[in-house]
Amino acid sequence: ESINVPMIPLGLKETKEVDFTGPVQDFISEHYREDGTLYEKEIQDLMELRQAMRTPSRNQAGLELLMEYYNQLYYLDQRFFSAHKNPGVHFHWYDSLTGVPSSQRALAFEKGSVLFNIGALYTQIGARQDRSASAGIDTAIDAFQRAAGAFNYLKENFSNAPSLDMSAPSLSMLVRLMVAQVQECVFERITLGTQDTGLTSQLHLAQEAAQ
């Protein structure tokens, strides 16, 4: 009986609580000439969503929660954040590898940190699959490929992150690690005697993500 090589999951970045209320209401009043208090419910909903995504469940529901907040950040970016306007909200995140805290007012740091956690959560989902059967291997392959995609996108689009875990060298290493885990899963699938034509293309896609 073959022994599966243990996969390596990543821990999620932790973050401090953020209060959007005062800064965003003041920004609305100053820049849009509207009563910022009229948007109190919307701001509260955003804060509750952020609070929930700080401790996502380690499953598909947790991924959907992170992605929902990530999508909301694009709306915030368009309305409230640019080179010429910023409500002055500070985002505090801890490095997932060293625990060292970092703080920025740039929304890109917030988006990048959430995307990192999406990738990290995919690694946890992939690592805990039962790879003694083809279904578990397929799920692990998909999860590690998605993690590689998240880290690669982060490397290409968020180049000024202040934390070590989101630096280009660290992200390149993480992409290569995810690709290696995909390759190991593909080989495990082959040894089960259930190889299909899609595995080769999956392996090529993973290798392309590492380039």
- Which CATH number belongs to the domain containing residue 87 in this structure? 1.25.40.280
**Confidence bin at 211 (pLDDT 50/70/90):** low
In a domain, 13, yes or no: no
Task: Indicate the pLDDT class of residue 19, thresholds 50, 70 and 90.
Answer: very high
Instruction: Let me know if residue 172 belongs to a domain.
Output: yes
Q: Is residue 9 part of a domain?
A: no
Burial (Cβ within 10 Å: 0-12, 13-18, ≥19) of residue 208:
exposed
Q: Report the number of distinct structural domains present in the chain.
A: 1
Tell whether 10 is covered by a domain. Answer: no
Start-to-end C-alpha separation, the chain? 35
User: Is the predicted pLDDT of residue 1 greater than 60, yes or no?
Assistant: no
In the 8-state DSSP scheme, what is residue 36?
Answer: G
For position 163, what pLDDT does the model report? 92
The reported pLDDT for the residue numbered 146 is 98
Mean pLDDT of the chain: 90
Confidence of residue 36 (pLDDT cuts 50, 70, 90): confident
Q: Domain for residue 156, yes or no?
A: yes
Residue 157 lies in a domain: yes
Enumerate the H helices of 57-106 as residue ranges: 60-80
Residue pair 110/16 in contact (Cβ under 8 Å)? The answer is no
* Distance, CA of 92 to CA of 98 (rounded, Å): 15
Backbone angles phi, psi at 159, to 5 degrees: -90, -10
The secondary element (H helix, E strand) that includes residue 125 is helix 107-127
Using an 8 Å Cβ cutoff, are 20 and 8 in contact? no
pLDDT given at position 60: 97
Evaluate whether residue 6 is within a structural domain: no
Q: What is the pLDDT of residue 193?
A: 75
The pTM is what?
0.89
Count Cβ neighbours within 10 Å for each residue of 75-98 and write b for 16 or more, e otherwise: ebeeebbeeeeebebebbbbbbee
Mean pLDDT (whole number) for 155-166: 90
pLDDT in tens, 83-118: 667 778 899 999 999 999 999 988 899 999 999 999
Q: Range of 64's domain?
A: 21-210
In this structure, is residue 129 part of a structural domain?
yes
